[in-house]
Amino acid sequence: MGKAHDALSPTVSSSRAVTLPRGLVVLREQLPPRSAGVELCSSPQDQYELYAVEMEKQDDGAMDVKIKKKKTTKAAKKKEKLENMKKEMDVDDHQLSVEDLELKYQTSVSKGLNSTWAGEILLRDGPNELKPPKGTPEYVKFARQLAGGLQCLMWVAAAICLIAFGIQCGQGDLTSADNLYLAIALIAVVVVTGCFGYYQEFKSTNIIASFKNLVPQQATVIRDGDKFQINANQLVVGDLVEIKGGDRVPADIRIITSQGCKVDNSSLTGESEPQTRAPECTHESPLETRNIAFFSTMCLEGTATGIIVNTGDRTIIGRIASLASGVENEKTPIAIEIEHFVDIIAGLAIFFGGTFFVVAMVIGYPFLKAMVFFMAIVVAYVPEGLLATVTVCLSLTAKRLARKNCVVKNLEAVETLGSTSVICSDKTGTLTQNRMTVSHLWFDNQIHTADTTEDQSGQSFDQSSETWRALCKIVSLCNRAFFKSGQDNVPVPKRIVIGDASETALLKFSEITLGNVMEYRERYKKACEIPFNSTNKFQLSIHELEDPRDPRYLLVMKGAPERILERCATIMIKGQELPLDEQWKEAFQTAYMDLGGLGERVLGFCHLYLDPVQFPRGFSFDSEEMNFPTSGLCFAGLISMIDPPRATVPDAVMKCRTAGIRVIMVTGDHPITAKAIAASVGIISEGSETVEDIASRMRIPVEQVNKWEARACVVNGGQLKDMESEDLVEILKMHPEMVFARTSPQQKLIIVESCQKLGAIVAVTGDGVNDSPALKKADIGVAMGIAGSDAAKNAADMILLDDNFASIVTGVEQGRLIFDNLKKSIAYTLTKNIPELTPYLIYITVSVPLPLGCITILFIELCTDIFPSVSLAYEKAESDIMHLKPRNPRRDRLVNEALAVYSYFQIGAIQSFAGFTDYFTAMAQEGWFPLLCVGLRAQWENDHLQDVQDSYGQEWTFGQRLYQEYTCYTVFFISIEMCQISDVLIRKTRRLSVFQQGFFRNKILVIAIVFQLCLGCFLCYCPGMPNIFNFMPIRFQWWLVPLPFGILIFVYDEIRKLGVRRHPGSWWDKELYY
């Protein structure tokens, strides 16, 4: 499917009689476009074989093997389906004669199907539409939200809590339902964040869905000899349908009759150029032959009738779509990182739990009690708030991206672009505008560059020359394309044109440079016209002159440059007609080669003022007889056209490269065009050479070139097919700048896989159906929102609503930023785990009254600290992240040992000290000296003891002790909060000093800190809190106790950062930079 290009019918091959200089892409004829942009290959025969083999492989080779490999487990059913697929691929409908076809489908090429029979077939085959890829049911989507790495951790923790609660109940200990609350809180967190995530994805799905064309497509069908307009999904195999310019082909159609019908296969193959459809079978492969028009391709011009041979999912498009659905989605890098992080957490939790289990047993706790301790410690290690933080951070970024027109389907994909190290980009429609545009002109022996930007904002060339005026006249007059009426207010590049792609380009070009072309044509009345045909390979028209006193006729002609040149005797230079001698022919050749080398389609233009004596006004020109001169004309110039790159692309590619991302072009289009576009957008940078370039520069055979010298490499599908996957990997390693041309959907898939094998995280951009398998396979598939086909959008993870490749750069930037900021958020969130855990450890081992309660911990995790940790997502980048290399997924982890160790055992330890200092202060000030506290637990917690003596001999009832315990909780809570304020400030940066980053630049973070303080105050001082949530109003000075620790944390981290900045690569840097 990918490279249905040079359909090598004998006619076409023979039309390539002229041997062309190497590297030259020429259009020797305007039609058929399939021969435009001919490849540089030694002989047409080679090419023929090459593609024949290729197609055969496509039909049943690579694709089936691939899927079989993937689906070995889903045995029988899938296999059967594949068998069917294979069989269907063997269709020979294009080779059948019309009569056989009628017989096969019991239809008639004149009257169409019988409606009743059509109804039956419809029942048998189902409607003619692509089954939407088995949409994941909503409940599965929701369930997926509940089953991530962190979520699983929380589920396990909740289960442990319930077990611990069960054990406690079993022991008859009903005093504390903390474990139950904890379990409920854990489950609630998972479910609430699950709902949140689900809602986010639901919203973006809706945005994408809104892009789908909901208007049912209509088709003209002939049944029982009458024409009907019916919904395209009602069509069945055997239906006789009519298509005309502007229609979408409603199914796979075998063409029966055609009048200049051309279709746009770009979404299928990546070719920008229109393809002719005609009744003759030109190739034995159904994909190559010209007499089959494919479902969902666009008919650009002309009309055709045909018989439907495949409908719905059995069409080529349907099969590619199903190929995409056979590809497994890759796990997002962030999911992998979170799993890695969960491993670390779980490991530490079990280590700590185990250690203290042993300690508890040694101290002499009963086994079950020790078990409960073990579980409590394991659970205390679970960062309850992290899940919410991560989800909110990701969705914030998703929102930010959505504002920049990147819609993310899966929240986790937000980060993926940031990790991306290779972008495999489709060319047509992604890098280019998918629209032929005049790019260069050659006249007065000079190549002029036309403006190819989308909005015509570029520089124009010098238009003062007389030659230009003549050339312009030819361009305007010798053109049959016209604007669809009623578009006067539409900017020229956006207007809809009826006509072939090159004529459209020329029409728009002259409309822009000259003004109203339609009116201009009115003034030069057309007297005669010869449209393009494949024998003449030129187009000619004869016009009256504008000036009524000038009786001459003007003959204008355009066509394949060498054909035009043959017919010229003179050449116009600066308005002067000079004889066309060898020197000028040489100049012509050079210009022709230059333009061809740019991958452009070149046309030649010439004119002749007819002798007024011989051809007076009113002369009857006969286009059949050609009773006028068609040689000895005056050559005016060459104009070349290309599907130009989008204006923003070169800059975006440049930015990607500075960001260390390799941009690879993978296209279905011709190598030369691909290479030219690659060079113009910077995928192949200036000065980079391919092996062939080096060979031709050094004038040595290709084999003798040291391949490692060639930075760039253009590989076409044919070469790719012969390569083992190791070779491909080798090539990818060898040449940093790669262009893959004429690739099939499967090959795109293989390329993506090879890049992934190299350890790269691969983004694929594309718009066509042919890209969809690769989009799915990629770590992140990016589809175009406007130009993109539904199949591509379905397979993609991210959609660029404005089709702007530059949005990818934004995505990369945001992705990298969120990765860095998530790191900070996680570091912040993890830190407080230790001051939350140590009270319990001390409680178990030293038997002090419990310093920090479970509900209080939940408040820290899920209430006060959420906002600050989320606010870190708003932190600006510390350095120019777009100048760094993409992270190495194996080395640069989201959570590494340094982060965990530093957060837990350094900052976390300081926070614990703060908490305990404050705790002991509060206890001592109320009458319980620290030494007394040790070992106090049994008495303290005995609710029958109403007269426990403190250090002063005062007697406390159980209730009084309980409130004192709550006071301690609150004091510890405030200590953690105060330290966390300091913590959030230090987490603003990992390397820079906070002063360099700006203390208050992140407004959200400042608000978050204020919010955190207010919430802390509220929890402490709101009446009723003591009995509901165990918060007690505490004395002001207990807020101050942790302050020195907060300052210590700040200074400590500044010292760390200073060391990291001063001594990069040192032990300090390695151990303390996270």
Partner 1 sequence: MLFTISEFEPKYQDRVAPPGLTLIPQVLKTEISFSISDPQSYGQYVEGLNKFLKNYDSDQQASDMIFDTCADKPDDYIMRGAFNNAQGQKKVCRFKREWLENCSGIADSSYGYRDGKPCVVVKLNRVLGFKPKPPLNESLPAEVMGKYNQYVMPVHCSAKKEEDADKVGPVEYYGMAGYAGFPLQYYPYYGKLLQPKYLQPLLAVQFTNLTYDTEVRVECKLYGENIGYSDKDRFQGRFEVKFDIKSS
Report in angstroms how near the CB of residue 1041 gets to partner 1 at its nearest. Answer: 6
Query: Pick from 426, 461, 432, 451: which is nearest to 648 by CA?
Result: 432
Q: Is 426 a catalytic residue?
A: yes
385/853 with CB nearer partner 1: 853
Nearest-approach distance from CB 148 to partner 1, in angstroms: 42
Binder among 110, 583, 957, 996 for partner 1 (CB under 8 A)? 957
Structure tokens at 703: 């084999």
Tally Cβ neighbours within 10 Å of residue 202.
Answer: 13
How many Å apart are CA 966 and CA 1031, to the nearest integer?
Answer: 6
Neighbours of 791 (CB within 10 A): 30
| Alpha carbon 375 to chain centroid, angstroms | 44
Check residue 576 for interaction with partner 1 (CB under 8 A).
Answer: no
Q: What is the nearest approach in angstroms of partner 1 to the Cβ of residue 1038? A: 9
Q: Binding of partner 1 at residue 913 (CB under 8 A)?
A: no
**Minimum CB separation from partner 1 for residue 835, in Å?**
19
Q: Which stretch binds partner 1 (CB under 8 A): 191-199, 595-603, 679-687, 947-955?
A: 947-955
**Can you tell me the distance from the alpha carbon of 266 to that of 669, in angstroms, rounded to the nearest whole number?**
9
Out of 627, 658, 879, 949, name the contact with partner 1 by CB under 8 A: 949
Give the closest residue to 471 by CA, choosing from 605, 609, 338: 605
956 binds partner 1 (CB under 8 A): yes
Please select the residue that binds partner 1; options are 196, 228, 963, 1052, rule is CB under 8 A. Answer: 963
Is the CB of 352 or the CB of 1031 nearer to partner 1? 1031
Mapping DSSP onto H, E and C, the string for 817-841 reads HHHHHHHHHHHHHHHCHHHHHHHHH
Q: How far is the CB of 917 from partner 1 (least distance, A)?
A: 8
**Residues within window 1031-1050 making contact with partner 1, judged by CB under 8 A:** 1035, 1037, 1041
Q: Which residue from 955, 1017, 1022, 1051 is in contact with partner 1, where contact means CB under 8 A? A: 955
Q: Quick check: 972 binds partner 1 (CB under 8 A)? A: no
**Do 979 and 910 form a contact (C-beta atoms < 8 A)?**
yes
Q: Which of 426, 451, 643, 790 is catalytic?
A: 426
795 is a site residue for partner 1 (CB under 8 A): no
- Window of 77-85, 778-786, 919-927, 989-997 that interacts with partner 1 by CB under 8 A: 919-927
- Smallest separation, CB 926 to partner 1 (Å): 5
Pair 390, 822: CB distance under 8 Å: yes
- Cα dihedral 472, 474, 475, 479 sign: positive
Q: Which stretch binds partner 1 (CB under 8 A): 116-124, 489-497, 836-844, 956-964?
A: 956-964
171 binds partner 1 (CB under 8 A): no
Minimum CB distance to partner 1, residue 863 (Å): 24
* Single-letter code of the amino acid located at 944: H
Total binding residues for partner 1 by CB under 8 A? 33
- Closest to 380 in 3D by CA, of 849, 850, 822: 850
Q: What are phi and psi of 276, to 5 degrees?
A: -75, 140
Burial class (CB in 10 A: 0-12, 13-18, 19+), 519: exposed
| DSSP-assigned states of every residue in 1017-1035 | HHHHHSTTHHHHH------
In the complex, least distance from residue 920 CB atom to partner 1, rounded to whole angstroms: 6
Assess 449 for contact with partner 1 (CB under 8 A): no
Residue 842 binding partner 1, by CB under 8 A: no
Minimum Å gap between C-beta 1021 and partner 1 is: 15
Closer residue to partner 1, CB minimum distance, 378 or 923:
923
Considering the complex, state which of residue 155 and residue 958 has its C-beta at the smaller distance from partner 1: 958
**Single-letter code of the amino acid located at 951:** S
Smallest separation (angstroms) from partner 1 to the CB of 1011: 28
DSSP annotation of 547: S
Shortest distance (Å) from residue 927 CB to partner 1: 4
| Min dist. Cβ of residue 1032 to partner 1 (A) | 9
Beta bridge partners of 556: 541, 607
Residues 6+ apart with CB under 8 A from 791: 130, 317, 320, 321, 324, 769, 772
Q: Which residues contact 373 (CB under 8 A, 6 or more apart)?
A: 356, 357, 360, 365, 840, 844
Nearer to partner 1 among residue 319 and residue 961 (C-beta) = 961
Assess 1020 for contact with partner 1 (CB under 8 A). Answer: no
C-alpha pair distances (Å), 1034 with each of 537, 602, 923, 959 = 94, 84, 12, 17
- 355 sits near partner 1 (criterion: CB under 8 A): no
Nearer to partner 1, 428 or 921 (CB): 921
Footprint (CB under 8 A) of partner 1, residues 587-646: none
Q: How far apart are CA 219 and CA 773, in angstroms?
A: 29
Closer of 952 and 1018 to partner 1 (Cβ): 952
Q: Which two tokens stand for residue 273?
A: 């150029």
62-70, 561-569, 671-679, 962-970 -> range binding partner 1 (CB under 8 A): 962-970
- Does the bond joining 32 to the residue before it have cis omega, within 30 degrees of 0? yes
Helix intervals (H) in 57-148: 62-70, 75-89, 98-105, 115-125, 138-145
- When asked if residue 950 is in the footprint of partner 1 (CB under 8 A), the reply is yes
Check binding of 959 to partner 1 (CB under 8 A). Answer: yes
Query: What track of x and - describes contact with partner 1 for positions 926 through 945 (by CB under 8 A)?
Result: xx-xx-------------xx
325/917 with CB nearer partner 1:
917
- Beta strand pairing status for 252-264 and 275-277? antiparallel
What's the DSSP call for residue 781? E
Binding of residue 1027 to partner 1 (CB under 8 A): yes
Q: Is 802 within 8 Å of 821 (Cβ atoms)? A: no
Helix (H) or strand (E) holding 557: strand 553-559
173 is a site residue for partner 1 (CB under 8 A)? no
Confirm or reject binding of residue 1018 to partner 1 (CB under 8 A): no
Residue 339 contacts residue 150 (beta carbons within 8 Å): no
Binding flag, residue 967, partner 1 (CB under 8 A)? yes
CA–CA dist 502, 432 (Å, integer): 16
Q: Which of 40, 514, 924, 1048 binds partner 1 (CB under 8 A)?
A: 924
Q: ∠44-46-52 over CA atoms, to 5°?
A: 100
685: contact with partner 1 by CB under 8 A: no
Query: 191: helix, coil or strand?
Result: helix
Residue 946 is a binding residue for partner 1 (CB under 8 A)? yes
How far is the C-alpha of 188 from the C-alpha of 923, rounded, in Å? Answer: 34
Residue 1036 vs 1067, nearer CB to partner 1: 1036
Q: Which is nearer to partner 1, 819 or 1038 (CB)?
A: 1038
> Both tokens of residue 51?
């593609």
Closer to partner 1 by Cβ: residue 844 or 1041: 1041
Determine which residue in the list 964, 975, 989, 1030 makes contact with partner 1, applying CB under 8 A: 964
Catalytic residues: 426
Binding site for partner 1 (CB under 8 A): 917, 920-921, 924-927, 929-930, 944-947, 949-960, 962-964, 967, 1027, 1035, 1037, 1041
